[in-house]
Amino acid sequence: MQPRRAPYSMCQKEECDDRQSSGEVSILERAPTSSFGNRPLSLPAAFQKSASQIKAKERFVIDPCLAVSKYRRSAAGMTERYPPRTMEQLIVTVQYLQQLLIEATPTSPDGVPVSYLSVVEFVQDRFRAVQVDLTRSMQASKRIQLSIIRSQILILYLMADVPEYSTKLGTDALKAALSNYWQDTNDPTEIQRDWDDEVLAYTLLLHVCCEEPFSFLELYRKLYRGKGELLKWSLRLAGEWAQGNWFIVLKLLREGSSHATFSALARCCLARQLSHVRWNALKMYNVTWGKAEAVPLDDVARLLMKEDAATFCQACGLSLTDTKNAILFKMSQLKQLADRFPVRDDDFVLGPSGGPFRSVIVAKTSLKLPSSKYMTNLSSF
């Protein structure tokens, strides 16, 4: 549970007042007792409306402690601008949004059911507003951009199998954060050099899986900043990938680096390509064994580093033996995986299986959030 923020610490009072008047109150910004008939007595006087006005417009009370400045498109006629938030306010805002992703619950502050998709869309909109405030105030912050980068990588993974989610918007937001990160041209501190290393590592991994937020020339231009531990790890993985050493790629991903948060997010970066990696590994094993050889299912699961190896092998055209405890390899070509083969693989990406999942309904799709055990390494990012 997050500590309650001070009023107007994430949204200027002028914007809160205007959004209350116009009814622009997100379900995640409502006061705990949100109906106006049961209005908390501590709300600002500006929110005191007559009962008839409230009933007619069916509005909700905006909680100044939960309100977060929203993104406004100037192209849509939104010419009014509120004072940009201070750097301290922006840092507080980003920290709040990060924890909202991790600690999301199936209900809003006033007890109304809310989907995880709604949480993600809220967070991404508010991240865009943070970027706007940084631009308007001519400020740059590697700390903020790194936090947004980490969050966007996690979002793209968690929402990978949700058709209602716009992957393009998420990818564009990640590209923007990766680009904006380098706008801070001050001499880096020791901790910022570690951040540079992490961002370069993510950039390389996104190139590896063909999610190209930068050209290779742009990436190369930044390599002069030094090769830290995380970038060296990513370069090794990219080299093994280029040589087709798929088992080593999986092994490197599973073991990760000494940086727990980075290791989990690195696997998130490459999650869309995990099925491709395993298919190529299985293709090599199929040629190696062949001749209708039966290989114990436990051995195949270990080599593919996938708990449900039987389902994966069957999707590739291989079959189980009559005893259901071995995979029957053959010389024929493997089947290509279906385009909609699930991306989410929490056991591999976020950690070993342990404990029940929390289920959250996303539109008509049931989205499983990782258990709190999985999210331990991400709780401090």
- Backbone φ and ψ of 30, nearest 5°: -75, 145
Give the mean model confidence (pLDDT) for residues 140-169: 94
Comparing CA positions, the residue from 173, 163, 74 lying closest to residue 126 is 173
Give the pLDDT of residue 381.
60
Give the mean model confidence (pLDDT) for residues 28-56: 53
Comparing CA positions, the residue from 379, 372, 374, 359 lying closest to residue 115 is 359
Q: Is the pLDDT of residue 293 over 70?
A: yes
Largest CA distance in the chain: 81
Q: How far apart are CA 192 and CA 349, in angstroms?
A: 26
Least confident of 73-87, 198-212, 250-264, 324-338: 73-87
Give the pLDDT of residue 186.
78
Percent of the chain with pLDDT over 70: 77
Q: Is the pLDDT of residue 25 over 90?
A: yes
Read off the pTM. Answer: 0.85
Q: Is the pLDDT of residue 375 over 60?
A: no
Give the pLDDT of residue 34.
46
- Predicted confidence band at 368 (pLDDT cuts at 50, 70, 90)? low
With a CB cutoff of 8 Å and minimum separation 6, the contacts of 286 are 318, 329, 330, 331, 334
Comparing CA positions, the residue from 149, 249, 246, 152 lying closest to residue 196 is 149
Give the pLDDT of residue 351.
74
Measured over the CA atoms of residue 32, residue 34, residue 40 and residue 43, the dihedral's sign is positive
Q: Is the pLDDT of residue 172 over 80?
A: yes
* Angstrom distances, CA of residue 284 to CA of 32, 307, 338: 57, 19, 19
- Predicted confidence band at 47 (pLDDT cuts at 50, 70, 90)? very low
Chain segment 256-265, per-residue pLDDT in tens: 998 888 999 9
Q: Is the pLDDT of residue 68 over 80?
A: yes
- Predicted confidence band at 124 (pLDDT cuts at 50, 70, 90)? very high
Helix axes 167-181, 142-158, angle to 10 degrees: 160
- Predicted confidence band at 223 (pLDDT cuts at 50, 70, 90)? low
Give the pLDDT of residue 260.
85
Give the mean model confidence (pLDDT) for residues 2-6: 79
- Predicted confidence band at 32 (pLDDT cuts at 50, 70, 90)? confident
Q: Look-up: residue for tokens 């299985």?
A: 282
- Predicted confidence band at 202 (pLDDT cuts at 50, 70, 90)? very high
Instruction: Count other Cβ atoms within 10 Å, centred on residue 42.
Output: 8
Give the pLDDT of residue 80.
62
Give the pLDDT of residue 309.
93
- Predicted confidence band at 90 (pLDDT cuts at 50, 70, 90)? very high
DSSP 8-state class, residue 107: B
- Predicted confidence band at 49 (pLDDT cuts at 50, 70, 90)? very low
Q: Is the pLDDT of residue 120 over 80?
A: yes
Q: Could you give the 3-state DSSP secondary structure of residue 367?
A: strand
3-state secondary structure 198-219: HHHHHHHHHHHCCCCCCCHHHH
Give the pLDDT of residue 261.
87
